[in-house]
Structure 1
Amino acid sequence: MDFLAGCFGGAAGVLVGHPFDTVKVRLQVQPVDKPLYRGTYHCFQSIIRQESVLGLYKGIGSPMMGLTVINAIVFGVHGNTMRFLEEDTPTNQFFAGAAAGAIQCVVCCPVELAKTRMQMQGIGEKKASRKTYRSSLDCLVHIYRQEGVRGVNRGMVTTLIRETPGFGAYFWSYDVLTRSLGCEPDSRFIIPKLLFAGGMAGIASWIVTYPADVIKSRLQMDGAGGVQRYSSIMDCVRQSIGKEGYMVFTRGLTSTLLRAFPVNATTFATVTLFLMYVRGAEEAPQNQQSGL
């Protein structure tokens, strides 16, 4: 039941958060010498004006497509790790979350690669005159034919660097917050408390991992236009800092933090309501967990 609840909650989170994610990616990878957007609001405004509201949902098929498998891995690994560790403590929650985050990268990396490529396709066009990719699946097939398995897993190391501490920080923060807020099944305002805990935990995990996310996005877009700019992760870091300074690691952060709270709040609300319906109002809050 946790798996099904996570799937529904994750899907709701994707629908709410994808526009913010599109803005984040556009800001992260736009050229520094000729930037298309001045900031988060200008990026939102430009996409809607030039590409319609649907432009904000480019690439949504990829996270939706991989959502079921990713949630299955995350919830399965987290639950089994907690049972192995036996004691439910914030520290063990961190290790269980980190293990789940690391293992689900096998699916997460290709999914985010397709999402990133689709989000950057047809910039400034309501209806792209020439599409390289027809869908997220077509994008992955296209990359596989040109670059093989290595191409489909482009950015795997940076995804691992981001997801391992990211999920660890999320589950740790969520556990600490729910304990502090007294999220017992019979406590008052249980759902608002869970929403707040989930939203704040999401923000905390993104702050910890955001620099790695910037590098991941750049590496996954590298070579898409036929030009290879970076030879390695460290080369990408050096070039990015050299041209844009250390503030490069905050590109798109505003959009990401704006996305983090409502996405996790939506996910938690959906998971809670689903578990209440299936298991009953008292048992539901005890067993639900959520992904980023």
Structure 2
Amino acid sequence: MALDFIGGCLGGSAGVIVGHPFDTVKVRLQIQGASNAKYKGTFHCFSLIIKKESVFGLYKGMASPLAGLTFINAIVFGVQGNMLRRFEHPTIASNFIAGAVAGGLQCIICCPMELAKTRMQIQGQGESRRYFQSTQHDYKGSIDCIKKIYHQEGIKGCYRGMVPTLLREIPSFGVYFAAYEFFCSNFEKRSTTEHLGLVQLLLAGGFSGMCSWMSTYPVDVIKSRLQADGMHHINKYNGIIDCIVKSYKEPGSGGIKVFFRGLNSTLLRAFPVNAATFTVVTLFLRYARPKSSQPSGESLLL
């Protein structure tokens, strides 16, 4: 489990550095109002952030996911790897089960971390003024954000959006690891070498991440809106159902389209992030474990 922990941390760090700019764009697009949209699309959002806030604007809130990275990846790769070893012959189904359990457990760290990230990514922007009627930068950093939320709303406030987080993470991590098993198995059948090559690992990890996000994206939109809600003690939504109904009926939202806002930037982010994450983890475990203890099958290295 120690190697799973270290490999997860290394892979997760690579993923955060590669993907955080895309995540900032995703959140900005998800929570902006349809009637006074500031961003016309993914690439317009990228260019406007860089123009107005410099390239560092794309990395707002990154301290929060980096701070929680050790714990999250310890849980995800540790639990997933150890559960998978309990199956005599791991399959796509067993990878889904192991991944789903790991995804649910890591929500304990993931939820407050993403709450801080979301608040940091939107504060002081046009969309935050629409929601919160303020241009003041309330948070000096991710840790300061969590502290202030705790003092204002208690532990319950730190877990705002926990239910949609669970509804997103449990199936998405199941799909994540199951898809990686599927792609690795198919690549392995066509491979003439003992291990999959770098390009094959990158493709397997990238496509797995895209599959994972597509399976639960609408839930992520709801999670982002609920976590953005409540700043300055102004609550727009009374819960998940109310958020779904109001988002759907919002003037100019396009109905069901509102739940897929920011999907382009998310998929653009998902491929390189998860290609980096899975490749780093797999290569680390491949070379860190003694050859005599390595299981057969590329995905079993996880």
Q: TM-score, normalization: structure 2?
A: 0.89
Opposite residue 274 of structure 1, the aligned amino acid is F
Aligned to 2:276: 266
Q: For 1:207-266, what per-residue CA distance to the aligned partner results, in whole angstroms no more than 9, with x for missing partners? A: 001000000000000011432110010000001111220001110000000000000111
Q: How many angstroms apart in 2 are the aligned matches of 1:149 and 1:46?
A: 35
Aligned to 1:22: 24
Q: Is the 8 A contact 1:166 1:208 kept in 2?
A: yes
Q: When the two structures are aligned, how many residues end up with a matched partner?
A: 285
Aligned to 2:198: 191
Aligned to 1:131: 137
- Aligned pairs (5 A) from 1:26-65: 26-65=28-67
**Structure 1, unpaired ranges of 5+:** none
Aligned to 1:110: 112
Report SS of the residue matched to 2:231: coil
Aligned to 1:87: 89
Give the alignment partner of residue 226 of structure 1, picking from 230, 233, 251. 233
Give the alignment partner of residue 172 of structure 1, picking from 174, 178, 189. 178
Q: For 1:31-77, what per-residue CA distance to the aligned partner results, in whole angstroms no more than 9, with x for missing partners? A: 22211101001100110000010000000000000000001111222
Q: Is the 8 A contact 2:9 2:73 kept in 1?
A: yes
Aligned to 1:216: 223
Q: How many angstroms apart in 2 are the aligned matches of 1:263 and 1:281?
A: 28
Aligned to 2:123: 121
Q: How many angstroms apart in 2 are the aligned matches of 1:53 and 1:140?
A: 25
Quickly say closer, same or farther: Cα 1:250–1:74, change in 2 above 3 A: same
Quickly say closer, same or farther: Cα 1:40–1:228, change in 2 above 3 A: same
Opposite residue 249 of structure 1, the aligned amino acid is F
Q: How many angstroms apart in 2 are the aligned matches of 1:188 and 1:143?
A: 47
Aligned to 1:250: 260
Quickly say closer, same or farther: Cα 1:58–1:264, change in 2 above 3 A: same
Q: Share of identical aligned residues, percent? A: 54
Q: Is the 8 A contact 1:185 1:286 kept in 2?
A: no
Q: TM-score, normalization: structure 1?
A: 0.91
Q: How many angstroms apart in 2 are the aligned matches of 1:281 and 1:194?
A: 19
Q: Is the 8 A contact 1:113 1:154 kept in 2?
A: yes
Aligned to 2:74: 72
Report SS of the residue matched to 1:84: coil
Q: Is the 8 A contact 1:191 1:272 kept in 2?
A: no
Q: How many angstroms apart in 2 are the aligned matches of 1:67 and 1:217?
A: 19
Q: Is the 8 A contact 2:206 2:275 kept in 1?
A: yes
C-alpha displacement at 1:84, in angstroms?
3.5
Judge which range, 175-184 or 246-255, deviates more.
175-184
Judge which range, 222-231 or 109-118, deviates more.
222-231
Q: How many angstroms apart in 1 are the aligned matches of 2:106 and 2:16?
A: 17
C-alpha displacement at 1:286, in angstroms?
5.8
Opposite residue 54 of structure 1, the aligned amino acid is F
Judge which range, 181-190 or 54-63, deviates more.
181-190
Quickly say closer, same or farther: Cα 1:189–1:276, change in 2 above 3 A: closer
Quickly say closer, same or farther: Cα 1:281–1:85, change in 2 above 3 A: closer
**Structure 2, unpaired ranges of 5+:** 127-134
C-alpha displacement at 1:192, in angstroms?
1.2
The Cα RMSD (Å) is 2.1
Aligned to 1:144: 150
Aligned to 2:131: none
